[in-house]
Amino acid sequence: MKTKVKFAIGAGIIIVTLSCLAWVGAEQSKTYYHTIAELPTLTGSALNQRFRVGGDVKGGSIQHMSGRVDFTLVGEGKALPVSYVGTDPLPDTFKDGAQCLVEGKYMPDGRFVAEMVQAKCASKYEAAPTQGAPGANPSSSSPNAKSY
Amino acid sequence: MDLFGSYALLLAFLCMLYAVGGGIAAIITRRPLLIKSARNAGFAVCALVWLGFGSLLYLFLTDDFSMAYVSAHSNRNLATFYKIPAVWSGQEGSLLFWSFLLSIYVFSVLFTYRGKHPELMPYVGVVTASVQGFFLILNNFIASPFQIFAAPGAGGVMHLATQADGRGLNPLLQYPEMSIHPPMLYSGYTGFTIPFAFALAALLGRYPGEKWIHLTRRWTMIAWCFQSIGILLGAHWAYAVLGWGGYWGWDPVENASLMPWLTGTAFLHSVMMQEKRGMMRVWNVWLVFSTFFLCILGTSLTRSGAVNSVHAFAESKIGHWFWSFLVICIVVCLVAYLKNRDYLRSDNQLDSMLSRESSFLFNNLILLVACVAVLSGTLFPVLSEAVRGSKISVGPPFFNLVNVPIGLFLLFLTGVGPLLAWRKTSTESMRRNFGWPLVGGAVGAVLAVAFGLRNPYVTICVLLSGFVTLTVLSEFYRGSRVISARTGSNLFSSAAQLTMRNTRRYGGYVVHFGMVLIFIGLCGTPFNKDRQMEMNPGSVMALGPYTLHLQNFDTDQQPNYSSERATIDVDRGGKSLMMLYPQRRFYPSNEESGTMVAISSTLKEDLYVVYAGRSPDTNMPVIHAYLNPLVKWIWLGGVVVVFGTILALLPNRQAVLVVRPVAETSPAVQGQQTVPATYTARSQLPTSHD
């Protein structure tokens, strides 16, 4: 019984310590997901959080400027102007029409300043949907044929 | 061939129904013929799945672009070598690949134990066939890879519409490792089905004793080994192909592969408690169950769109199937447990904190905490949305803060655990066993600080690495010395003999040593450096001790891609060391570009050079160079881990009987019958705790 109690105390210390670390880590790195449509509706302190927003890169909107890359993200019928200011080169998969995840801050003027851009060329495993694929369609709807 | 494939899968589904139904009937009636026929149905399921997979492979190799799946994932110019991994590069194919690998495991198990364990095997057959059944439902009815292209022709009749060429394989996958990484990882995921099936079977059938543990040990180790290789290859692929200079990013899909590995590792350790001391029966059963659940969860995370990931498959309806299957599995396991839990009662209690048992308990606790931390971090968006209504994700700082101390504590246990005795260890023996290794580790840590590796975690890690290495070496040394004294052979051949006599124990030590090497590799992370520069031919970049001279650019045209290549001369202290050729490739078939990183790797550090494309402002080429210390140790450690696991899988060498002269009998026992010599099985030497 005594040994059991000792073990329980040891286990308790470990779990409490790690929980504290987890809490600190979560506070440091937490990022809020929002849809493009939700962003303008946010008010007050919610605006100062770090956000992660997903959408599709609008065709022809990518503009390389000095020190930043501007593009427009579209989703649910809304558009969001984004400025990427990160130092890492943009991923290979980042291009017109790519499904894209940006992380950063939302500015009061409605522009999103991103420090990180992840482009999901659909996925690691899925071939990208090609525009104007040859005439025929798959006989039944397969996930591959889904447009993003 | 597509018809052949789909019929094979349909027939496999029917055989599966029989294997499950007949199996249950066999368990109830106990009729030998029924048992045999259910088992044969199990064999048939496996063989038919192989045929199904084989025909999909054939369709890929013959460029049959009338198939929707082939056309979406391959093209004519794709090298034949890559047409094989293309088979599992999409949702449907990868699910069939799951079935295929699972069938190999199931077939091996049914075949190995045919006619043995008549009380247990029918249950095992039913469980494995049910798991196969789930995947066959997906393969046949939800995500069939055998869909064809059709277009409405004259009179509205549908016609087969063959495509001229396919859309090609994702360039990120056109890399040799990508052909091995998924099979390895999937072999890990599917392999854990076997211990799961045995655990559930033993519980359902109230199979007495620890037999199922003995039977599944090797299968668990095989699955664990594949999982380890899969994870490391994935990390290496991310490092060598994605061009971001790192190998692990706590992406949900990486996490998904790590979680069953953590619980599987915990299981491999805690089974010893059950074997030796009859403890932790409930725990072990649930560890196996959880490992299997996490494998299913891992497979589903990539497919359901529940979490955002760069890796995830397109969001699809298939997620619901996985969630439902997971819920069914959990309910079945829970019911089986509640009904038969009295069968899992422990024989023994924990005796002392300073014992092998308690080190295993802490090892399990900490691995489980790591798993829960990774799981909650991965599912944070889902959980936070359910609890607080807003989707919140956590990033690498969360995972690192929790898992770095966990890793170090595990490393500590790796050194301490094997040297503690079962039941209770005396402080005297602790001093004897741990004194020198601890001193050695401390010397290592001081040296590391002196050489400039100044970071508290790194210092602790170096100290523990030295400590574990020395404890492992001392274990080998002590055992070999005994053998060497007995046989007169040198220490090295004695060490080899020692290992072969108890492969599990000494193979385990080798695995531990491999983990130490991996930890040393991880220690380099805080000292990574990188620099990015726009460079023209003639430009120079200095990074650490290296100087990079950009010499020129050239282009190359291959059937499947075109590439632009930079030639960089690297020198150190004015002496030319080597040429590096980072590339950017463009794949016209799917209009994507890919990076080919140039890496020069030594034990000390990796020089990692990426041609990051042209600057949008100046149209000048951008070179991003990284200096990552010690990375090579990780891959080296991985090789050692695999080698150790293979050692541990080998059967122990047969006991050799040696004659040992008996001590002179004392006068007090002269009247008793004496035996001139006792026979000692050599394989039991040395006699220290196992």
* Non-local CB neighbours of B561 within 8 Å, separated by 6+ positions: B171, B585, B586, B587, B588, B594
Q: Which of residues 34-73 of A touch B (CB under 8 A)?
A: 34, 52, 54, 64-66, 69
**pLDDT value at residue B316:** 61
Partner residue facing A144 (CB), from B68, B366, B593: B68
**pLDDT value at residue B126:** 95
Domain layout of chain B by residue ranges: 1-168, 426-524+634-684, 526-629
The C-alpha angle B109, B113, B115, rounded to 5 degrees, equals 140
A32/B172 touch (CB, cutoff 8 Å), yes or no: no
Q: For strand A78-84 and strand A112-120, is the pairing parallel, antiparallel, or unpaired?
A: parallel
Q: Please report which helix (H) or strand (E) contains residue A32, including its range.
A: strand A31-34
A134/B164 touch (CB, cutoff 8 Å), yes or no: yes
What's the whole-model pTM score?
0.85
Q: Which of residues 214-273 of B touch A (CB under 8 A)?
A: 243-244
Rg (CA), chain B: 29
The C-alpha torsion from B524 through B526 and B528 to B534, rounded to 10°, is 170
Residues of B with CB below 8 A from A140's CB? 147
CA pair distance B393, A116, nearest whole angstrom: 14
Q: What is the pLDDT of residues B408-462, one digit of tens each?
A: 999 998 888 887 777 777 777 777 777 888 888 889 889 888 887 788 899 999 9
**pLDDT value at residue B515:** 94
A136/B352 touch (CB, cutoff 8 Å), yes or no: no
A127/B390 touch (CB, cutoff 8 Å), yes or no: no
**pLDDT value at residue B574:** 83
Structure tokens at B455: 């970071």
Structure tokens at B300: 């589903």
Q: What is the pLDDT of residues A88-135, one digit of tens each?
A: 767 777 878 788 888 888 887 888 888 888 776 544 333 333 323 333
CA pair distance A2, B553, nearest whole angstrom: 72
- B57 to chain A, any CB pair closer than 8 A? The answer is no
Question: CB B588: neighbour CB atoms within 10 A?
Answer: 12
- A116 to chain B, any CB pair closer than 8 A? The answer is no
Q: Under a CB-based contact definition with an 8 Å cutoff, are residues B485 and B451 in contact?
A: no
Coil, helix or strand at residue A123 = coil
CA pair distance B404, B412, nearest whole angstrom: 12
Q: In DSSP terms, which residues pair with A137 in a beta bridge?
A: B150
- A122 to chain B, any CB pair closer than 8 A? The answer is yes
**pLDDT value at residue B137:** 94
Helix spans in B117-192 (H): 121-137, 176-191
CA pair distance A9, B644, nearest whole angstrom: 35
Handedness of CA A63, A65, A69, A75 (dihedral sign): negative
Residues of A with CB below 8 A from B243's CB? 92
Peptide bond into B171 cis (omega under 30): no
ipTM reported for the complex, 2 dp: 0.71
Q: What is the pLDDT of residues A44-96, one digit of tens each?
A: 766 777 888 888 888 888 887 777 888 888 887 888 889 888 777 677 778 78
Partner residue facing A3 (CB), from B351, B401, B610: B351
Flag residues of chain B having pLDDT under 50: 310, 312-313, 657, 662-690
Residues of A with CB below 8 A from B170's CB? 121, 124-128
Give Cα B273 distance to the centre of its chain.
23
Residues of A with CB below 8 A from B610's CB? 89
Rg (CA), chain A: 22
DSSP secondary structure of B426-446: -HHHHHHHHHHHHHHHHHHHH
